Amino acid sequence: MSTPLTAPVRIAALGKVAVLMGGTSAEREVSLMSGRGVLAALQSQGVDAHAFDPAERDLGELKRDGFARAFIALHGRHGEDGTVQGALELLGIPYTGSGVLASALSLDKVMTKRVWAAVGLPTPRWVRLDAACQRREDLRAVPDEIGLPLIVKPPREGSSIGVTKVLGYSQMADAVALAARYDADVMCEEFIEGIELTCPVLGTGDTARALPVVRIDAPEGNYDYEHKYFSDDTGYHCPSGLSAADEAEVQRLTLAAYHTLGCRGWGRADLMQRAADGALFLLEMNTSPGMTGHSLVPMSARAAGIGYEALCLALLESATLDSAHPGLHGASEAAR
Protein backbone atom coordinates (compact mmCIF):
# COMPACT_ATOMS: atom_id res chain seq x y z
CA MET A 1 0.00 0.00 0.00
CA SER A 2 1.25 3.44 -0.83
CA THR A 3 0.89 5.89 2.03
CA PRO A 4 1.83 9.54 2.53
CA LEU A 5 4.53 8.42 4.96
CA THR A 6 6.63 6.27 2.63
CA ALA A 7 8.59 8.97 0.77
CA PRO A 8 12.39 9.11 1.30
CA VAL A 9 13.40 10.88 4.51
CA ARG A 10 16.22 13.43 4.60
CA ILE A 11 18.09 12.39 7.76
CA ALA A 12 20.12 15.59 8.15
CA ALA A 13 16.97 17.72 8.11
CA LEU A 14 15.56 15.92 11.15
CA GLY A 15 18.07 17.49 13.53
CA LYS A 16 18.59 16.38 17.13
CA VAL A 17 15.71 14.14 18.17
CA ALA A 18 14.35 13.28 21.61
CA VAL A 19 12.55 9.94 21.93
CA LEU A 20 10.21 10.55 24.84
CA MET A 21 9.72 7.31 26.76
CA GLY A 22 8.90 6.05 30.22
CA GLY A 23 6.99 8.82 31.94
CA THR A 24 4.80 8.49 35.02
CA SER A 25 1.70 6.62 33.83
CA ALA A 26 0.66 3.07 34.66
CA GLU A 27 1.95 2.18 31.17
CA ARG A 28 5.53 3.20 31.93
CA GLU A 29 6.97 -0.28 31.38
CA VAL A 30 5.34 -0.60 27.96
CA SER A 31 6.44 2.92 27.02
CA LEU A 32 10.05 2.06 27.81
CA MET A 33 9.82 -0.97 25.52
CA SER A 34 8.30 1.13 22.74
CA GLY A 35 10.83 3.91 23.18
CA ARG A 36 13.83 1.62 23.13
CA GLY A 37 12.63 0.05 19.91
CA VAL A 38 12.07 3.43 18.27
CA LEU A 39 15.41 4.78 19.51
CA ALA A 40 17.34 1.82 18.14
CA ALA A 41 15.53 2.06 14.80
CA LEU A 42 16.23 5.77 14.39
CA GLN A 43 19.85 5.48 15.43
CA SER A 44 20.34 2.59 12.98
CA GLN A 45 19.29 4.96 10.20
CA GLY A 46 21.77 7.66 11.23
CA VAL A 47 19.35 9.91 13.16
CA ASP A 48 20.86 11.92 16.03
CA ALA A 49 18.31 10.43 18.45
CA HIS A 50 18.49 10.34 22.25
CA ALA A 51 16.35 8.80 24.99
CA PHE A 52 14.47 11.31 27.14
CA ASP A 53 12.40 10.20 30.15
CA PRO A 54 10.09 12.97 31.45
CA ALA A 55 9.93 11.16 34.79
CA GLU A 56 13.65 11.81 35.26
CA ARG A 57 14.24 15.09 33.40
CA ASP A 58 12.42 18.40 33.12
CA LEU A 59 10.86 18.95 29.70
CA GLY A 60 12.45 22.41 29.61
CA GLU A 61 15.78 20.66 29.03
CA LEU A 62 14.59 19.79 25.52
CA LYS A 63 14.89 23.42 24.50
CA ARG A 64 18.08 24.03 26.47
CA ASP A 65 19.77 20.97 24.93
CA GLY A 66 18.87 21.91 21.36
CA PHE A 67 16.38 19.21 20.43
CA ALA A 68 14.72 19.97 17.09
CA ARG A 69 11.83 17.51 17.32
CA ALA A 70 10.36 14.81 19.54
CA PHE A 71 9.14 11.30 18.88
CA ILE A 72 6.48 10.62 21.50
CA ALA A 73 6.69 6.99 22.63
CA LEU A 74 4.86 7.74 25.87
CA HIS A 75 1.60 5.93 26.63
CA GLY A 76 -1.26 6.93 28.90
CA ARG A 77 -1.46 9.95 31.18
CA HIS A 78 1.10 12.72 30.93
CA GLY A 79 2.16 11.42 27.55
CA GLU A 80 -0.86 10.62 25.41
CA ASP A 81 -3.44 12.95 26.99
CA GLY A 82 -2.45 16.33 25.57
CA THR A 83 -0.29 17.44 28.49
CA VAL A 84 3.12 16.67 26.94
CA GLN A 85 1.77 17.87 23.59
CA GLY A 86 0.86 21.21 25.20
CA ALA A 87 4.30 21.55 26.75
CA LEU A 88 5.96 20.88 23.39
CA GLU A 89 3.68 23.46 21.78
CA LEU A 90 4.90 26.05 24.28
CA LEU A 91 8.51 25.02 23.68
CA GLY A 92 7.98 25.19 19.91
CA ILE A 93 9.32 21.65 19.39
CA PRO A 94 7.45 19.65 16.69
CA TYR A 95 6.28 16.23 17.86
CA THR A 96 4.84 13.06 16.42
CA GLY A 97 1.17 12.16 16.58
CA SER A 98 -1.96 14.09 17.38
CA GLY A 99 -2.16 17.57 18.85
CA VAL A 100 -3.39 18.77 22.23
CA LEU A 101 -7.16 18.52 21.75
CA ALA A 102 -7.23 15.25 19.79
CA SER A 103 -4.85 13.62 22.27
CA ALA A 104 -6.95 14.71 25.26
CA LEU A 105 -10.21 13.56 23.66
CA SER A 106 -8.86 10.22 22.52
CA LEU A 107 -7.33 9.19 25.83
CA ASP A 108 -10.64 9.85 27.61
CA LYS A 109 -12.83 6.96 26.44
CA VAL A 110 -16.04 8.61 27.64
CA MET A 111 -15.33 11.80 25.70
CA THR A 112 -14.31 9.74 22.67
CA LYS A 113 -17.65 7.92 22.76
CA ARG A 114 -19.58 11.16 23.14
CA VAL A 115 -17.89 12.63 20.08
CA TRP A 116 -18.39 9.49 18.00
CA ALA A 117 -22.02 9.14 19.06
CA ALA A 118 -22.66 12.77 18.12
CA VAL A 119 -21.81 12.02 14.48
CA GLY A 120 -23.48 8.61 14.38
CA LEU A 121 -20.42 6.35 14.58
CA PRO A 122 -21.16 2.96 16.18
CA THR A 123 -19.77 2.32 19.67
CA PRO A 124 -20.99 0.03 22.47
CA ARG A 125 -23.43 1.51 24.99
CA TRP A 126 -21.82 2.84 28.14
CA VAL A 127 -22.45 4.28 31.59
CA ARG A 128 -20.05 6.71 33.29
CA LEU A 129 -19.78 6.49 37.06
CA ASP A 130 -18.11 9.48 38.67
CA ALA A 131 -16.84 9.31 42.24
CA ALA A 132 -20.27 10.28 43.65
CA CYS A 133 -22.07 7.53 41.70
CA GLN A 134 -20.21 4.43 42.82
CA ARG A 135 -22.49 3.38 45.67
CA ARG A 136 -23.88 -0.14 45.73
CA GLU A 137 -27.31 0.97 44.49
CA ASP A 138 -25.67 2.82 41.58
CA LEU A 139 -23.68 -0.26 40.64
CA ARG A 140 -26.70 -2.55 40.64
CA ALA A 141 -28.46 -0.28 38.16
CA VAL A 142 -25.72 -0.55 35.53
CA PRO A 143 -26.32 -4.15 34.36
CA ASP A 144 -30.03 -3.36 34.15
CA GLU A 145 -29.20 -0.57 31.70
CA ILE A 146 -26.57 -2.12 29.44
CA GLY A 147 -26.89 -5.84 30.16
CA LEU A 148 -24.51 -8.62 31.18
CA PRO A 149 -21.75 -9.42 30.65
CA LEU A 150 -20.22 -5.95 30.63
CA ILE A 151 -16.76 -4.38 30.77
CA VAL A 152 -15.61 -2.09 33.59
CA LYS A 153 -12.56 0.06 32.94
CA PRO A 154 -10.83 3.31 33.92
CA PRO A 155 -11.65 5.71 31.07
CA ARG A 156 -8.26 7.41 30.98
CA GLU A 157 -5.89 4.42 31.01
CA GLY A 158 -4.78 2.06 28.27
CA SER A 159 -3.18 -1.36 27.77
CA SER A 160 -6.20 -3.02 29.46
CA ILE A 161 -4.99 -1.78 32.85
CA GLY A 162 -7.73 -1.94 35.50
CA VAL A 163 -10.18 -3.68 33.14
CA THR A 164 -12.64 -6.37 34.30
CA LYS A 165 -15.20 -8.44 32.44
CA VAL A 166 -18.22 -8.60 34.74
CA LEU A 167 -20.45 -11.65 34.45
CA GLY A 168 -22.87 -10.95 37.31
CA TYR A 169 -24.15 -8.29 39.70
CA SER A 170 -21.96 -9.60 42.52
CA GLN A 171 -18.77 -8.73 40.61
CA MET A 172 -19.62 -5.08 40.04
CA ALA A 173 -18.25 -3.72 43.33
CA ASP A 174 -14.81 -5.31 42.98
CA ALA A 175 -14.58 -4.37 39.29
CA VAL A 176 -15.43 -0.73 39.97
CA ALA A 177 -13.02 -0.62 42.92
CA LEU A 178 -10.21 -1.90 40.70
CA ALA A 179 -10.91 0.63 37.95
CA ALA A 180 -11.18 3.43 40.53
CA ARG A 181 -7.60 2.72 41.62
CA TYR A 182 -6.51 4.20 38.29
CA ASP A 183 -9.18 6.85 37.66
CA ALA A 184 -11.73 8.68 39.83
CA ASP A 185 -14.28 8.07 37.07
CA VAL A 186 -15.21 4.57 35.96
CA MET A 187 -16.71 3.52 32.63
CA CYS A 188 -19.01 0.53 32.27
CA GLU A 189 -19.38 -0.65 28.69
CA GLU A 190 -21.64 -3.07 26.88
CA PHE A 191 -19.76 -6.28 26.09
CA ILE A 192 -19.69 -7.18 22.41
CA GLU A 193 -19.27 -10.90 21.81
CA GLY A 194 -17.29 -11.45 18.63
CA ILE A 195 -14.04 -10.76 16.82
CA GLU A 196 -11.47 -8.27 18.14
CA LEU A 197 -9.94 -6.07 15.44
CA THR A 198 -7.53 -3.18 15.21
CA CYS A 199 -6.73 -0.83 12.32
CA PRO A 200 -3.89 1.72 12.17
CA VAL A 201 -3.94 5.03 10.31
CA LEU A 202 -0.99 6.93 8.88
CA GLY A 203 -1.18 10.54 7.73
CA THR A 204 -3.10 13.74 8.28
CA GLY A 205 -6.27 15.20 6.80
CA ASP A 206 -7.03 14.14 3.24
CA THR A 207 -3.74 12.23 3.01
CA ALA A 208 -4.57 9.90 5.92
CA ARG A 209 -4.84 6.24 4.94
CA ALA A 210 -5.94 3.16 6.87
CA LEU A 211 -3.48 0.26 6.94
CA PRO A 212 -4.42 -3.44 6.80
CA VAL A 213 -6.70 -4.67 9.58
CA VAL A 214 -5.29 -7.00 12.25
CA ARG A 215 -7.52 -9.70 13.78
CA ILE A 216 -6.64 -10.68 17.34
CA ASP A 217 -7.19 -14.13 18.86
CA ALA A 218 -6.41 -13.99 22.58
CA PRO A 219 -6.66 -17.08 24.80
CA GLU A 220 -10.32 -17.43 25.87
CA GLY A 221 -10.91 -13.98 24.39
CA ASN A 222 -8.92 -12.36 27.20
CA TYR A 223 -6.73 -9.71 25.54
CA ASP A 224 -5.33 -8.33 28.81
CA TYR A 225 -2.05 -6.60 29.69
CA GLU A 226 -0.10 -9.88 29.85
CA HIS A 227 -1.45 -11.16 26.54
CA LYS A 228 -0.84 -7.82 24.81
CA TYR A 229 2.83 -7.45 25.65
CA PHE A 230 4.41 -10.54 27.15
CA SER A 231 2.59 -13.69 26.03
CA ASP A 232 3.25 -15.65 22.87
CA ASP A 233 -0.17 -17.34 23.14
CA THR A 234 -2.07 -14.50 21.46
CA GLY A 235 -2.70 -14.97 17.75
CA TYR A 236 -2.46 -12.06 15.31
CA HIS A 237 -3.75 -12.31 11.76
CA CYS A 238 -2.75 -9.80 9.11
CA PRO A 239 -4.24 -10.24 6.54
CA SER A 240 -7.21 -10.33 8.88
CA GLY A 241 -9.18 -13.02 7.09
CA LEU A 242 -12.21 -10.74 6.92
CA SER A 243 -14.16 -10.47 3.70
CA ALA A 244 -13.03 -7.67 1.39
CA ALA A 245 -16.23 -5.78 2.19
CA ASP A 246 -15.74 -6.08 5.96
CA GLU A 247 -12.07 -5.10 5.73
CA ALA A 248 -13.02 -1.99 3.75
CA GLU A 249 -15.76 -1.11 6.23
CA VAL A 250 -13.39 -1.41 9.19
CA GLN A 251 -10.96 0.91 7.40
CA ARG A 252 -13.76 3.37 6.56
CA LEU A 253 -14.99 3.49 10.15
CA THR A 254 -11.44 3.85 11.44
CA LEU A 255 -10.73 6.83 9.19
CA ALA A 256 -14.05 8.42 10.14
CA ALA A 257 -13.28 7.94 13.84
CA TYR A 258 -9.77 9.37 13.37
CA HIS A 259 -10.96 12.44 11.47
CA THR A 260 -13.85 13.11 13.86
CA LEU A 261 -11.46 13.34 16.81
CA GLY A 262 -9.10 15.60 14.83
CA CYS A 263 -6.22 13.11 14.91
CA ARG A 264 -3.10 13.51 12.82
CA GLY A 265 0.20 11.76 12.07
CA TRP A 266 -0.79 8.29 13.13
CA GLY A 267 -3.16 6.38 15.34
CA ARG A 268 -4.87 3.03 15.81
CA ALA A 269 -8.53 2.25 16.33
CA ASP A 270 -9.69 -0.82 18.25
CA LEU A 271 -12.99 -2.37 17.18
CA MET A 272 -15.24 -5.38 17.72
CA GLN A 273 -17.26 -7.26 15.13
CA ARG A 274 -20.33 -8.79 16.75
CA ALA A 275 -20.61 -12.51 16.09
CA ALA A 276 -24.40 -12.50 15.99
CA ASP A 277 -24.82 -10.18 13.01
CA GLY A 278 -21.39 -8.94 11.86
CA ALA A 279 -22.04 -5.39 13.11
CA LEU A 280 -18.91 -3.31 13.81
CA PHE A 281 -18.33 -1.20 16.93
CA LEU A 282 -15.55 1.29 17.67
CA LEU A 283 -13.99 0.87 21.10
CA GLU A 284 -11.21 3.45 21.33
CA MET A 285 -8.58 5.46 19.46
CA ASN A 286 -4.92 5.22 20.39
CA THR A 287 -2.94 8.35 19.44
CA SER A 288 0.44 7.05 20.63
CA PRO A 289 0.25 3.34 19.81
CA GLY A 290 2.71 0.77 21.06
CA MET A 291 5.91 0.11 19.12
CA THR A 292 7.07 -3.02 20.96
CA GLY A 293 7.82 -6.46 19.54
CA HIS A 294 4.18 -7.42 20.10
CA SER A 295 2.72 -4.14 18.82
CA LEU A 296 0.08 -3.97 16.13
CA VAL A 297 0.97 -0.86 14.10
CA PRO A 298 4.37 -2.26 13.03
CA MET A 299 2.68 -5.57 12.20
CA SER A 300 0.10 -3.90 9.99
CA ALA A 301 2.71 -1.62 8.42
CA ARG A 302 4.82 -4.66 7.46
CA ALA A 303 1.80 -6.10 5.68
CA ALA A 304 1.61 -2.82 3.77
CA GLY A 305 5.29 -3.07 2.81
CA ILE A 306 6.61 -0.61 5.42
CA GLY A 307 9.41 -1.93 7.65
CA TYR A 308 9.87 -0.89 11.28
CA GLU A 309 12.80 1.46 10.64
CA ALA A 310 11.06 3.12 7.70
CA LEU A 311 7.91 3.53 9.79
CA CYS A 312 9.80 5.21 12.62
CA LEU A 313 11.60 7.54 10.21
CA ALA A 314 8.41 8.51 8.42
CA LEU A 315 6.56 9.21 11.66
CA LEU A 316 9.45 11.33 12.87
CA GLU A 317 9.47 13.32 9.65
CA SER A 318 5.74 13.99 10.13
CA ALA A 319 6.37 15.70 13.49
CA THR A 320 4.59 19.04 13.64
CA LEU A 321 2.79 21.58 15.84
CA ASP A 322 -0.89 22.43 16.22
CA SER A 323 -0.28 25.83 14.65
CA ALA A 324 0.53 24.10 11.35
CA HIS A 325 -2.99 22.60 11.22
CA PRO A 326 -5.46 25.37 12.18
CA GLY A 327 -8.38 23.75 10.37
CA LEU A 328 -7.84 20.14 11.42
CA HIS A 329 -10.35 19.91 14.27
CA GLY A 330 -13.95 18.87 13.73
CA ALA A 331 -15.74 16.16 11.83
CA SER A 332 -14.73 15.52 8.27
CA GLU A 333 -17.23 14.84 5.53
CA ALA A 334 -16.34 11.14 5.79
CA ALA A 335 -17.45 11.12 9.42
CA ARG A 336 -20.77 12.92 9.00
Confirm whether 302 is a catalytic residue.
no
Statement: 126-190 belongs to CATH 3.30.1490.20: yes
Per-residue pLDDT, 1: 39
CA distance 230 to 232: 7
List the catalytic residue out of 80, 81, 183, 284: 284
Confirm whether 225 is a catalytic residue.
no
Non-local (6+) Cβ contacts of 67 within 8 A are 15, 16, 17, 18, 50, 52, 93
The domain locations on the chain are 11-96, 105-122+193-335, 126-190
Non-local (6+) Cβ contacts of 105 within 8 A are 111, 112, 115, 261, 262
Confirm whether 249 is a catalytic residue.
no
CATH label, 11-96, candidates 3.40.50.150, 1.10.3720.10, 2.40.110.10, 3.40.50.20: 3.40.50.20
Strand partners, 271: 197, 282
List the catalytic residue out of 157, 268, 300, 318: 268
Q: Architecture of domain 105-122+193-335 in CATH?
A: 2-Layer Sandwich (3.30)
Q: What is the pLDDT along the chain (336 residues), one digit of tens a residue?
A: 344 454 567 899 999 999 999 999 988 999 999 999 999 999 999 999 999 999 999 999 999 999 999 999 999 989 999 999 999 999 999 999 999 999 999 999 999 999 999 999 999 999 999 988 898 889 999 999 999 999 999 998 876 789 999 999 999 999 999 999 999 999 999 999 999 999 999 999 999 999 999 999 987 655 445 544 445 678 999 999 999 999 999 999 999 999 999 999 999 999 999 999 999 999 999 999 999 988 999 999 999 999 999 999 999 999 999 988 876 754 444 444
Confirm whether 86 is a catalytic residue.
no
